[in-house]
A and B are shown apart, each in its own frame.
Chain A
Amino acid sequence: NAGVTQTPKFQVLKTGQSMTLQCAQDMNHNSMYWYRQDPGMGLRLIYYSASEGTTDKGEVPNGYNVSRLNKREFSLRLESAAPSQTSVYFCASSPLPGQGVTEAFFGQGTRLTVV
């Protein structure tokens, strides 16, 4: 059981380049999320998808787009990377939106550097 799988693990981009971070979960979870983690800032929500077919902005959505491709996959796209987007990105999933036990399972993270 792989859980939540993110690719790539590391990436270096030049300013202005684009890229897509991929995330897939095999736990049949409804909800998926993208967070960024910066020193001293905790985990900040970029976008989330409460269920297949829906996406919503989180706390820091500017400069990002997402696609919930199907129930398993949720991708994050940087259209024109900026140095301020240098961060560690985590994908996560949870069973149900805001009901009952909502443990979030995290992927292993993507360390992105924009130069």
Chain B
Amino acid sequence: GENVEQHPSTLSVQEGDSAVIKCTYSDSASNYFPWYKQELGKRPQLIIDIRSNVGEKKDQRIAVTLNKTAKHFSLHITETQPEDSAVYFCAAILSGYSTLTFGKGTMLLVSP
């Protein structure tokens, strides 16, 4: 089955800095890679996703890059704000299967 590794487990940055979270996956057939944000006490919610036929996708301050050869993908947050503080989860899914495999999460703390 798929295995997703996520690093770092915690990340502290100053407001305005950039933050990068990295994930690696094991199955080269995986073709969909979403990122979820979970605020304290809330449910995970999708913030951005990328498919295997695209190398990069951007949505305002958030971007995701995918390197299929190396089997890793990254979340980039620029100009971080205190409201970006949350736990972020990467995930991967195999075409033809119905389940997402999640990484263990990264707690991002943005200090004012």
Task: Mark the stretch among A13-21, A43-51, A66-74, A78-86 that contacts chain B.
Answer: A43-51
Query: Counting CB contacts under 8 A, is A113 at the interface?
Result: no
Q: Is the Cβ of A107 less than 8 Å from the Cβ of B43? A: yes
Q: Is the Cβ of A33 less than 8 Å from the Cβ of B99? A: yes
In the complex, which of the residues A42, A45, A108 contacts B105, with contact meaning CB atoms closer than 8 Å?
A: A42
Task: Mark the stretch among B67-75, B76-84, B87-95 that contacts chain A.
Answer: B87-95
CB interface residues, A 85-112, toward B, < 8 Å: 90, 94, 96-99, 101-104, 106-109
Q: Is the Cβ of B43 less than 8 Å from the Cβ of A90? A: yes
Query: Counting CB contacts under 8 A, is A75 at the interface?
Result: no
The docked-state distance in angstroms from the alpha carbon of A94 to that of B98 is 9
CB interface residues, B 20-36, toward A, < 8 Å: 32, 34
Query: Counting CB contacts under 8 A, is A31 at the interface?
Result: yes
Q: Is the Cβ of B99 less than 8 Å from the Cβ of A41? A: no
Interface of B is mostly: loop
Q: Is the Cβ of B98 less than 8 Å from the Cβ of A40? A: no
Query: Counting CB contacts under 8 A, is A61 at the interface?
Result: no
The docked-state distance in angstroms from the alpha carbon of A96 to that of B94 is 13
Query: Counting CB contacts under 8 A, is B54 at the interface?
Result: no
Q: Is the Cβ of A103 less than 8 Å from the Cβ of B44? A: no
- On A, residues with C-beta under 8 Å from B are 31, 33, 35, 40-45, 48, 50, 58, 90, 94, 96-99, 101-104, 106-109
Between A and B, 21 residue pairs with Cβ closer than 8 Å are A33-B99, A40-B9, A40-B105, A41-B104, A42-B6, A42-B89, A43-B89, A43-B105, A48-B98, A48-B99, A50-B98, A94-B98, A96-B98, A98-B96, A98-B97, A103-B46, A104-B34, A104-B46, A107-B43, A108-B43, A109-B43
